[in-house]
Amino acid sequence: MSEKENVLSIFALGGMNEIGKNMYIIENANDIIVIDCGNKFPDESLLGIDLIIPDMSYLEENKEKVKALIVTHGHEDHIGGVPYFLKKLKVPVYATRFTLGLIELKLEEHYLLKEAELKEIDSNSTLSFSDIRVSFFKVNHSIPDCLGIVFDTPEGKIVHTGDFKFDLTPANNEYSEIHKMADIGRDGVLLLLSESTNAERPGLTPSERIVGDHVLEAFLKAEGKVVLSTFASNINRVQQVVEACKITNRKLALLGRSMVNVVQVAIERGYLDVPEGMIIEPNLINTMMPERVAILCTGSQGEPLAALARLSTGDYRGAEISSGDTVILAAGPIPGNERSVTKIIDNLFALGAKVIYGSGSTTGMHVSGHGYQEDLKLMLTLMKPKYFIPVHGEYRMLHLHRQLAESVGVEDHHTFIMTNGDVVDIEGSVARQTRKIDAGDTYVDGIGVGDVGEIVLRDRKQLAEDGMLVIVLTMNKRDKKLVSDPDTISRGFVFVKDSEQLLKDINKLIIKTVDDIDVTSRKQWSEIKQNIRKSVGQYVFKETKRKPMILPIIIEI
């Protein structure tokens, strides 16, 4: 909460020092306005976790002040947490037509659509919340309908760019509103929050239009089926595939649930123009001549259960990749996904496919939706902010973005490199970063949200690395003595048939451990279990150098 009545506070609950789970907050004495609510995907250390979303406890504690969630665009790292947000906070969600379509898909899955208050906006919309007025400007990105946001406050203008690049020849002819950005900057921007994803890459981001030429060239050269994998949300790329299918007289099959859903939303809402009869059901792929079929599928990031991975292992029912087919990976691997993508590429080569992959500069099949250094400098130059907060990036990206800001005239001590939870307070048009609020990660596992913490993850790690030993003891209820020999069950620790002597020795040790416990102490089952865990754990580590989870179970008879 703002420390004084007239203080304006800006902070992030996600998106700082990370790529993903973007969530930014504007707060004054009366209102909290939330920008985006995304997720990110777990790395291999977070065993069994499905998604990571921002910790929203601060918003719950101040729920009476939360007036709106404004969404800049429809990528997962900006909308993936919306259902979990709406389960905690019943506030209106403002987004563009296409973005709302993607949010509706998510809310339907969570049975929240009927009760959600969804409000459509565009770049000409204005919103008012007590003494904050909100307006918008159109930006280019790799998904349709993206907005930057202007917050007109008593302290001055706060601008959030959303994700952007400056594409002067956009494939969908939706141009950045550069004139509007210049007007905003001329009127004076107190503070700019600008995305930093490509702050390491020099130059200007290439135009999406060059990809269409390379896609068509690959289709014209292809002799068998063409399989193209990309992000489902990249509707410009999907339209380019549709155009190539038109010219080469191919039917188009969609594989992957997200691809089918997003394309359906894009067609229904007028963002995708597909000729009648072009899209076919997947079960028709193998009934047609290969040179008359193209497949558009998910899985460009190496996801093991996505369509491309299953095609690469011959595990997709009704569709297969044959020798002579062309496979195009029309998306660059997100850092961390390289190994999974490489494995799929190897499998595709083994099937005899011609595989076109690699960064956009080598194949022309992908360009980034995020601005390179010159794009970022142009945004800074247009906005001319007094203060600057680089957002949406890992630390090195934020740091390099600060240097770009200084190179175009932002004073060095006027840039704030922040972590999630750091608060910039503005009073009298002067910004200071002196305090923090609680911010962190919430893990989503199945239907559980936030119920998996460090202890559960530590147990999962132990089970994954060394397995478990379940020790079943049958004990007499009256005299607390063993009725029979223990039953020791190994899961993921040792193979029983190859380790019979080890398990026999463990059973002997268990019997000795129980016998050594004073009869009066045996009334405490917890003490018996604790002693068994300790003695068996020490023995097993000495013999095997492994630390399985040991679970003693006592049955009274």
Arithmetic mean of pLDDT, 481-497: 82
Arithmetic mean of pLDDT, 365-390: 96
The dihedral formed by the CA atoms of 301, 307, 313 and 315, expressed in degrees to the nearest 10: 160
Q: Which of 177, 195, 208, 303 is catalytic?
A: 195
d(CA 528, CA 513): 8
Q: Is the pLDDT of residue 179 over 50?
A: yes
Share of the chain above pLDDT 90, in %: 64
Residue range 27-48, pLDDT digits in tens = 999 999 999 999 988 766 665 6
Arithmetic mean of pLDDT, 56-69: 96
Distance, CA of 460 to chain centre: 22
pLDDT band for position 347 (cuts 50, 70, 90): very high
Domain 454-556 has CATH 3.10.20.580: yes
Q: Which of 311, 238, 228, 247 is nearest to 271 (CA)?
A: 238
Structure tokens at 552: 């003693």
Q: Is the pLDDT of residue 262 over 80?
A: yes
Any binding-site annotation on 369?
A: yes
8-203+368-445: which CATH architecture?
Answer: 4-Layer Sandwich (3.60)
Arithmetic mean of pLDDT, 383-402: 97
**Beta-carbon contacts of residue 344 (< 8 Å; ≥ 6 apart):** 299, 302, 308, 309, 312
Domains 8-203+368-445 and 208-363 share a fold: no
Any binding-site annotation on 163?
A: yes
Residue 432's alpha-carbon distances to 16, 131, 386, in angstroms, are 18, 21, 13
Any binding-site annotation on 401?
A: no
Share of the chain above pLDDT 70, in %: 93
Spatial contact of 404 and 199, defined as CB atoms under 8 Å apart: yes
The confidence score (pLDDT) of residue 303 equals 83
Q: Is 467 left (phi over 0), alpha (psi -120 to 50) or beta?
A: left
Q: Which of 331, 325, 301, 308 is nearest to 211 (CA)?
A: 331
Asked about 195 being catalytic, the answer comes back as: yes
The secondary structure of residue 434, as a DSSP letter, is E
The confidence score (pLDDT) of residue 550 equals 87
Place of tokens 């580590």: 541
Q: For the domain covering 208-363, report its CATH number.
A: 3.40.50.10710
One-letter-per-residue 3-state SS of 196-259: CCCCCCCCCCCCCHHHHHHHHHHHHHCCCCEEEECCCCCHHHHHHHHHHHHHHCCEEEEECHHH
The confidence score (pLDDT) of residue 521 equals 65
Lowest mean pLDDT among 97-101, 133-137, 511-515: 511-515
d(CA 141, CA 135): 19
d(CA 52, CA 46): 10
**Beta-carbon contacts of residue 404 (< 8 Å; ≥ 6 apart):** 199, 373, 376, 377, 380
Q: Is the pLDDT of residue 252 over 90?
A: yes
Any binding-site annotation on 77?
A: yes
The confidence score (pLDDT) of residue 281 equals 94
Q: Is the pLDDT of residue 8 over 60?
A: yes
Q: Which of 168, 204, 166, 167 is nearest to 382 (CA)?
A: 166
Q: Is the pLDDT of residue 448 over 80?
A: no
- CA dihedral (184, 189, 191, 197) positive or negative: positive
Q: Is the pLDDT of residue 1 over 50?
A: no
d(CA 386, CA 396): 22
Strand duo 93-95 + 118-120: pairing: parallel
**b/e sequence 340-364, b meaning 16+ C-beta within 10 Å:** bbeebbebbeebebbbbbeebeebb
The confidence score (pLDDT) of residue 51 equals 82
Q: Is the pLDDT of residue 141 over 50?
A: yes
Q: Which of 160, 214, 370, 401 is catalytic?
A: 370
**Beta-carbon contacts of residue 490 (< 8 Å; ≥ 6 apart):** 467, 468, 469, 496, 499, 503, 548
Spatial contact of 46 and 443, defined as CB atoms under 8 Å apart: yes
Arithmetic mean of pLDDT, 78-85: 95
Average pLDDT over the chain, rounded to whole?
A: 90
Any binding-site annotation on 95?
A: no
The confidence score (pLDDT) of residue 265 equals 94
Where are the chain's structural domains?
8-203+368-445, 208-363, 454-556
Any binding-site annotation on 160?
A: no
Arithmetic mean of pLDDT, 411-418: 94
d(CA 193, CA 501): 65
pTM for the predicted model, two decimal places: 0.83
The confidence score (pLDDT) of residue 4 equals 57
The confidence score (pLDDT) of residue 452 equals 60
d(CA 409, CA 12): 25
Q: Is the pLDDT of residue 362 over 70?
A: no
Asked about 413 being catalytic, the answer comes back as: no
The confidence score (pLDDT) of residue 253 equals 96
Arithmetic mean of pLDDT, 263-276: 94
Q: Which of 84, 110, 96, 109 is nearest to 138 (CA)?
A: 96
Any binding-site annotation on 141?
A: yes
**Beta-carbon contacts of residue 263 (< 8 Å; ≥ 6 apart):** 232, 238, 254, 272, 274, 279, 296
Rg from Cα positions in the chain = 29
Residue range 501-531, pLDDT digits in tens = 888 888 888 888 888 777 666 667 777 888 8
Residue 243's alpha-carbon distances to 103, 212, 236, 366, 519, in angstroms, are 27, 9, 11, 16, 82
The confidence score (pLDDT) of residue 236 equals 92
The confidence score (pLDDT) of residue 526 equals 78
Any binding-site annotation on 414?
A: no
